[in-house]
Structure 1
């Protein structure tokens, strides 16, 4: 019997594996896809996420991010707040995945090419397709099969609004800012993340299932900047809102997007995954797996509060276009929100 079976070898699962091995656990990661795995992602780490990488001993190369800038759809009005101390990081998801995979391999973490389909548990162990472990960590993504199999996925009520989706494309162009730019229109948002000397990622969050270029047309200044740049294919993800009844179910614990997800509005998904992985393993090391639920709630509180608030504004057609003017009019409030995220 091993100590820990981790289902999912993305950033959340690998971070949990690295923390676990360093704390003396016997770990196996089950991931059917070869590394690195690409997916739709904003590809920005908050400063606390960069700190989490350093704690893992993972060197990561990317583009320093010094703050967040909100702009209206035309780019004419804006508000900017700088991170108060250290920078964040714009990093390709594949680069991050490769760095985490290399660190896990350095520590001797076995990654088996296996898709877990069935999970059963008793008071003393968990069994997943014949693999037996003291605990199982589900890090199997936004639409976690493990979460669904255990009956922990909660369907959001229809009154909460239409589902939202994320679309991402990379452009070969020199970044024009050292911050993440967030463009607000009446219907959607566009996130521009500098990733390298000649690369930016542009993610669009929307409730309308329209082609990427039609969504980008809501932001004329941004569309004009990217008009002649080489571009990659579009990747998508969603619906983004995924509710979980709990983060702990017996000897099964959830981390990353599998633990539940509100929206990508505040760009904290990767950062929360890395910091929550540390908290999860610490709770197991202390013999208090149930304490992880409270630890996750504490770590994600600012993310959930700010994201729910912005989603409420987004759902009000008259208020959504006023987000950027309000941030420009009340700069101290905007700076406070950015400091909270950082």
Structure 2
């Protein structure tokens, strides 16, 4: 019998599959989309994520960056925090997913072009897509169909503005070896070096307006530095970003990555948490104690959830939002400490 049936062949699902294969489990991945799979994301891997992927034998391509720079969109004031434990990497989502898929194939992981569909389980096994396994791992993204089908999605809180992510690539040499986070009153723009002649620009916003309008209205200085987008430089979007799940373990179904619940992309920790949680999930399954994964996930994600929620709280209060970059510039050691806490 299959040990782990993984629904979703993105980074979280493939990291789980690789962890499982390295632990001696039989793993099958369900992914109807052809490799490589693209997605709207900032495409910056923190040093901790780079290290964890390399520990799995996954080569991480892309461009190194040394830290994070906050930029006040109105005044140009800057604050910088440099990594102490090695660089992060800006890597196109398609290249990362292809590298993970290649490593999974090396380890003998089968990938089937199927959707999970209806999930059935009893005390001993779980079934999906015509297959039976000991456990099903739902790594099927922000709007997880498995989470929704099992009734585990928590409705959005009324009155909370939904946030969305938009991303586009530009064929231009990076002007910095830092990830720049440009702050405006109601949104942020992330500039990530992806190679010698390419950057990614991602906007996180609660405004429902086209990407170019958001840049021109909120970040005119940044917009002036960008060339006209080349052929194929489409804008990709995702959201609403905040998604809550009632639990990470539902019988023999376990959730990882965005499907396990998501606060926001503001702190850039999503992939670090996903690959770390994948390792904990496999450890708990292999030990025959899958119920322990809920506590492990909560412990792993606590810092991300607390810090991201606090920044979003401040972001939602204009008098405080305007002080984020000035405060970071005034307290460089504290800002550097926060950056390195996220980089672990």
After superposition, give the CA deviation of every residue in 1:23-75 in whole Å (9 maximum; x if it has no partner).
Answer: 11111100000001101011011111011111110112111111111000146
Aligned to 1:4: 4
Aligned to 1:301: 302
Aligned to 2:165: 166
Aligned to 2:45: 45
Which structure 1 segments of 5+ residues have no match?
none
Aligned to 1:146: 146
Contact 1:75-1:221 within 8 A present in 2 as well: no
Superposed displacement of residue 227, structure 1: 3.9
Q: Distance in 2 between matches of 1:229 and 1:39?
A: 18
Q: Distance in 1 between matches of 2:8 and 2:316?
A: 33
Superposed displacement of residue 96, structure 1: 0.3
Aligned to 2:97: 97
Q: Distance in 2 between matches of 1:90 and 1:99?
A: 14
Contact 2:46-2:342 within 8 A present in 1 as well: yes
**3-state SS, counterpart of residue 15 of structure 1:** helix
Contact 1:152-1:246 within 8 A present in 2 as well: yes
Q: Distance in 2 between matches of 1:75 and 1:285?
A: 53
Aligned to 2:266: 265
Contact 2:114-2:129 within 8 A present in 1 as well: no
Superposed displacement of residue 318, structure 1: 2.2
Q: Distance in 2 between matches of 1:324 and 1:74?
A: 11
**3-state SS, counterpart of residue 80 of structure 2:** strand
For the pair 1:321 / 2:322, whether they are aligned, the reply is yes
Aligned to 1:207: 206
Paired residues for 1:20-59 under 5 Å: 20-59=20-59
**3-state SS, counterpart of residue 157 of structure 1:** coil
Q: Distance in 2 between matches of 1:220 and 1:334?
A: 26
Aligned to 1:87: 87
For the pair 1:178 / 2:177, whether they are aligned, the reply is yes
**3-state SS, counterpart of residue 307 of structure 1:** helix
* TM-score, normalization by structure 1: 0.97
Contact 2:178-2:192 within 8 A present in 1 as well: yes
Paired residues for 1:54-65 under 5 Å: 54-65=54-65
Aligned to 1:286: 287
Deviating 4+ runs (over 3 angstroms): 227-231
Aligned pairs, number: 341
Superposed displacement of residue 156, structure 1: 2.2
**3-state SS, counterpart of residue 319 of structure 1:** helix
When residues 223 and 75 of structure 1 are mapped into structure 2, their CA distance, relative to the original with a 3 A threshold, is farther
Superposed displacement of residue 101, structure 1: 0.5
* TM-score, normalization by structure 2: 0.97
Superposed displacement of residue 84, structure 1: 1.0
After superposition, give the CA deviation of every residue in 1:190-224 in whole Å (9 maximum; x if it has no partner).
Answer: 00110000011000000010010111011122111
Superposed displacement of residue 228, structure 1: 4.4
**3-state SS, counterpart of residue 319 of structure 2:** coil
Q: Distance in 1 between matches of 2:86 and 2:288?
A: 34
